[in-house]
Amino acid sequence: MSETEALESMVGGEYKYGFTTDVEYEDFPTGINEDIIREISRRKDEPEWVLEFRLEAFEKWKQMEEPDWPNVEYEKPDFENIQYYSSPKKKDGKKAESLDDVDPQILETYEKLGIPLQEQKQLQGIAVDAVFDSESIFTTFKEKLAEAGVIFCSISEAIQDHPEIVKEYLGSVVPKGDNFYAALNSAVFSDGSFVYVPEDTVCPMELSTYFRINNMQSGQFERTLIICEDNSHVSYLEGCTAPQYQDNQLHAAVVELVALEDAEIKYSTIQNWYSGDEKGQGGIFNFVTKRGHCRGDNSKISWTQVETGSAITWKYPSVIMQGDNSVGEFYSVAVTNQRQQADTGTKMIHVGKNTKSTIISKGISAGESNNSYRGLVKISPRADGAQNYSVCDSMLIGQTCGAHTFPYIESANPTAKVEHEASTSRVGEEQIFYLQQRGMDEDDAISLIVNGFAKEVLQELPMEFAVEADKLLGIKLEGSVG
Amino acid sequence: MLEIKDLHVCVEEDPSEEILKGVNLTINKGEIHAIMGPNGSGKSTLSKVVAGHEAYEVTQGDILYNGESILELEADERAHLGIFLAFQYPVEVPGVTNKNLLRQAYNTIAEEQGREELDPLQFEDHAREQLELVDMKEEFLERSVNAGFSGGEKKRNEIFQMAVLQPKLAFLDETDSGLDIDALKIVANGINELSGEDNATVLVTHYQRILDYVQPDHVHVMIDGKIAKSGDKDLAIKLEEKGYDWLSKDASVL
């Protein structure tokens, strides 16, 4: 299977990924308390310092209240009713060393999702970490990456095998008490990916993680940590799907990126969690904290996201530009249809001199959905010559959806330059008629209009995915015009 | 080729407002027709109805294309038959290049008509040839459809699209309005070059001046939702001299 086919099946069509895999899970109680956290840590055989990290976070979380400032409406999750650890039963209780040890049903699941893990079928040029509920199932191309000195494994393995690196960086970008859901994640985080690229290294392949929530009752508390040492470079892509359930499920992730001097991290997301049905029943609550830290001079962190799924998307992938001349970028397409809600955007924090950030946000709303952009550009007093350029465009399809823009700008340095542009347009009858008159059917017409609108963002995706990502947007919006 | 019979049309949202009140018109292969008339007479509506715009409802009569009614066909299905409309106000499609739009359009129509589709390189050659016709530079292909175009560029782009798509029946809705004399000559030249024995062109226009450059076989005057008078080129000249009033009076007598 080619990468393009893989992406197509990852993002395509009516929701094709709503199926459930019937696997046996390890028993684990629902609810959250200190004993539960100790038990998670024990099952993962973690060193003492990780347990302490979790418990401290839990203490902080208990003191916090769920914020209600975002422009979304939902029934707050019942935290006692969530299962915080959900692992398929493993042979002799260990992570699979080879594919022979992986439950064939799970292998089949990934194959159905277009992400085959078997060696002969693996995606060429892309290493994949497959995370199923709370557990990393398998990571491909590990040896090949190791030859280049790149570590790519699950965070649980990294805690076992590279504790010194994890200890140095975990929680260093998103502190344990950063916000309500980040604190919860820090207390109960399950699995996620760990990437370490040593000095002077260009990672030889695209890295990607494929997240799958299967268990109805479990939440997913992914924790990802990517570190790029001096003068190194990595491109990472994550994809997400989940089955169709009546109830909402919680995905509360924390992603931390650290770029040292002259390093560059490109992080792309194609998020296609189950978004609920047309009445707004079910779907994933995607409440995520993603932050990158340009710690070294001349470093660069770039977020690209194509957000099409989830009942609610609530996240602001951000960059702290501490190093002089460092660069932060945020390219986003957020599509909401039916009853979906999104409040997403970014924070660009300029600390170093001559730091530069770019924000390109394209929101597309259809059906009865609500789509908000919320962004902060902050220039600190010592960030001489800082520059920001922001474009926030909204597109409305139909008469019953909403689009909102909340830009915040705080500049404490008079030499800084901040530019903000915003526009709202409606896909009109005339636009569709024009394209239909040229021979395209209505769905192709909408697809073309939407892809044109989102072009600046789509072209930021890794090459292998860019072309096919085009199709996703059109498919997502099929039939959205009466 | 096209037969419009006793066509009555109203706006879908307001059925009480009849815009076309019994239009009859026959257009044969190889002909150029001009439909003239004052503002609000229904000329533009007629072109949009033939192209299949959903905002209008046909309440009576029929439109036959090669002997078959097209009233039930969607706009794209009519385009597949070779019907083209050059828009009075061409629509902007930001982020989509002229080239991409036209290649997709060309291949969709070719597929429907059982003709050979063109790969990107073949298409580029085909498109480049047509650029000369409207005196456009190659970069025109890479620009977003009509986005940031001047009024004249938009109109020339419509003719360019017509040249690329090679329709059988083209309605040009006020393609001549808002053009300076040089642009008008370019557009007229494009229309002449594209007219042949196998296709037909209908110029919907306000002014006689484009008819100095394009010779119509038939001229029709539309007043108050009906064709008030048909004739040859001399009719257009008479209109230029006398305006539309004498016809309005005529029409009311009828």
Span A361-370, pLDDT tens digits: 999 998 889 9
**Cα dist from B151 to A71, B155, B177, B185, whole Å:** 41, 7, 9, 15
- Cα–Cα dist A153/A331, whole Å: 26
Cβ–Cβ < 8 Å for A165, A199: no
In a domain, residue A282? The reply is yes
Cβ–Cβ < 8 Å for A126, A464: yes
The structure tokens listed for B169 are: 């029946």
Q: Which of A366, A348, A334 is nearest to A420 (CA)?
A: A348
- Chain B residues interacting with chain A (CB cutoff of 8 angstroms): 51-55, 74-76, 78-80, 84-85, 87, 89-91, 93-96, 100-102, 104-106, 108-109, 112, 144, 161, 165
Q: Is the pLDDT of residue A127 over 90?
A: no
Give A9's pLDDT tier (boundaries 50, 70, 90).
very low
Residues of chain A neighbouring B93 (CB-CB closer than 8 A): 431, 434-435, 448-449, 452
Residues of chain B neighbouring A457 (CB-CB closer than 8 A): none
- Total tally of structural domains belonging to chain A: 1
Q: Residues 6 or more apart from A52 whose CB is under 8 A from it?
A: none
Phi-psi group of A439: left, alpha or beta (phi > 0 → left; psi -120 to 50 → alpha; rest → beta): left
In a domain, residue A402? The reply is no
A436-445: b or e for each residue (b if 16 or more CB lie within 10 Å)? Answer: bbbbbbbebb
Q: Residues 6 or more apart from B43 whose CB is under 8 A from it?
A: B35, B36, B37, B173, B204, B222
Amino acid B254: pLDDT: 42
Of the given ranges (A93-107, A183-197, B5-19, B197-211), which has the lowest mean pLDDT? A93-107
Residues of chain B neighbouring A448 (CB-CB closer than 8 A): 93, 96, 100-101, 104
Of B91, B95, B104, nearest to A440 by CB-CB distance is B104
Q: How far away is chain A from the Cα of B39, in angstroms, using its nearest Cα?
A: 20
Domain that holds residue A82: 3-315
**Going by DSSP bridges, is the β-strand pair A283-294/A248-251 parallel, antiparallel, or unpaired?**
parallel
Amino acid A201: pLDDT: 96
Q: Is the pLDDT of residue A2 over 80?
A: no
Angle ∠(B66,B69,B75) on CA atoms, nearest 5: 95
The structure tokens listed for B98 are: 């002229």
Q: Residues 6 or more apart from A268 whose CB is under 8 A from it?
A: A235, A236, A237, A238, A303, A304, A305, A306, A460, A461, A462, A465
Q: Which residue of B has its CA nearest to A440?
A: B76
Amino acid B83: pLDDT: 97
Q: What percent of chain A has pLDDT over 70?
A: 90
Q: How far away is chain B from the Cα of A128, in angstroms, using its nearest Cα?
A: 32
- Cα–Cα dist B71/B83, whole Å: 13
- Cα–Cα dist A87/A132, whole Å: 8
C-alpha torsion sign, points B187, B192, B196, B198: positive
Inter-chain residue contact B95 with A455, CB threshold 8 Å:
yes
Give A390's pLDDT tier (boundaries 50, 70, 90).
very high
Inter-chain residue contact B93 with A431, CB threshold 8 Å:
yes
CATH of the domain at B100: 3.40.50.300
Please report, for chain A, how many H helices and E strands are present, in that order: 11, 21
**Cα dist from A434 to A193, A473, B2, B143, B202, whole Å:** 46, 20, 21, 17, 18
Inter-chain residue contact A441 with B74, CB threshold 8 Å:
yes
DSSP secondary structure string for all residues of A422-467:
EEEEE--HHHHHHHHHTT--HHHHHHHHHHHHHHHHHTTS-HHHHH
**Going by DSSP bridges, is the β-strand pair A417-426/B218-223 parallel, antiparallel, or unpaired?**
unpaired
Residues of chain A neighbouring B105 (CB-CB closer than 8 A): 438-440
- Cα–Cα dist B246/B116, whole Å: 51
Helix (H, G, I), strand (E, B) or coil at A481: coil
Q: How far away is chain A from the Cα of B84, in angstroms, using its nearest Cα?
A: 7
In a domain, residue A39? The reply is yes
Residues of chain A neighbouring B101 (CB-CB closer than 8 A): 435, 438, 448
Q: Angle, nearest 10°, between helix axes B245-253 and B233-242? A: 110
Q: Which of B117, B116, B115, B141 is nearest to B128 (CA)?
A: B141
C-alpha torsion sign, points B176, B179, B180, B185: negative
Which of the pair, A399 or A434, is modelled with greater confidence? A434
Inter-chain residue contact B96 with A442, CB threshold 8 Å:
no
DSSP secondary structure code for residue A413 in this structure: -
Residues of chain B neighbouring A456 (CB-CB closer than 8 A): 95
Q: How far away is chain B from the Cα of A441, in angstroms, using its nearest Cα?
A: 6
Q: Is the pLDDT of residue A6 over 50?
A: no
In a domain, residue A411? The reply is no
Residues of chain A neighbouring B99 (CB-CB closer than 8 A): none
Residue type, B72: E
Alpha-carbon torsion, ordered B45, B51, B56, B59, to 10 deg:
100
Cβ–Cβ < 8 Å for A88, A110: no
Give B26's pLDDT tier (boundaries 50, 70, 90).
very high
DSSP secondary structure string for all residues of A359-386:
EEEEEEE-TT-EEEEEEEEEE-TT-TT-
Inter-chain residue contact B95 with A453, CB threshold 8 Å:
yes
What ipTM is given for this predicted complex? 0.94
**Cα dist from B116 to A436, B49, B78, whole Å:** 21, 29, 19
Alpha-carbon torsion, ordered B127, B128, B130, B133, to 10 deg:
160
Q: Which of A270, A269, A268, A262 is nearest to A233 (CA)?
A: A262
- Total tally of structural domains belonging to chain B: 1
Amino acid A5: pLDDT: 42
Q: How far away is chain A from the Cα of B168, in angstroms, using its nearest Cα?
A: 13
Span B69-100, pLDDT tens digits: 999 999 999 999 999 999 999 999 999 999 99
DSSP secondary structure string for all residues of chain B:
-EEEEEEEEEETTEEEEEEEEEEEEEE-TT-EEEEE--TTSSHHHHHHHHHT-TTEEEEEEEEEETTEE-TTS-HHHHHHTTEEEE-SSPPPEEEEEHHHHHHHHHHHHHHHTTPPP--HHHHHHHHHHHHHHTT--GGGGGSEETTT--HHHHHHHHHHHHHHH--SEEEEESTTTT--HHHHHHHHHHHHHH--TT-EEEEEES-SGGGGTS--SEEEEEETTEEEEEE-HHHHHHHHHH-SHHHHHHHHH-
Domain that holds residue B12: 2-253
Span B112-160, pLDDT tens digits: 999 999 999 999 999 999 998 888 889 889 999 999 998 889 999 999 9
In a domain, residue A199? The reply is yes
- Chain A residues interacting with chain B (CB cutoff of 8 angstroms): 428-431, 433-442, 444, 448-449, 451-456
Burial class (CB within 10 angstroms; exposed 0-12, middle 13-18, buried 19+) of B198: exposed
Inter-chain residue contact A453 with B94, CB threshold 8 Å:
yes
Helix (H, G, I), strand (E, B) or coil at A268: strand
Run of H or E including A36: helix A34-43
Cβ–Cβ < 8 Å for B126, B141: no
Span B217-226, pLDDT tens digits: 999 999 999 9
Span B155-177, pLDDT tens digits: 999 999 999 999 999 999 999 88
Give A315's pLDDT tier (boundaries 50, 70, 90).
very high
Cβ–Cβ < 8 Å for A355, A386: yes
In a domain, residue A78? The reply is yes
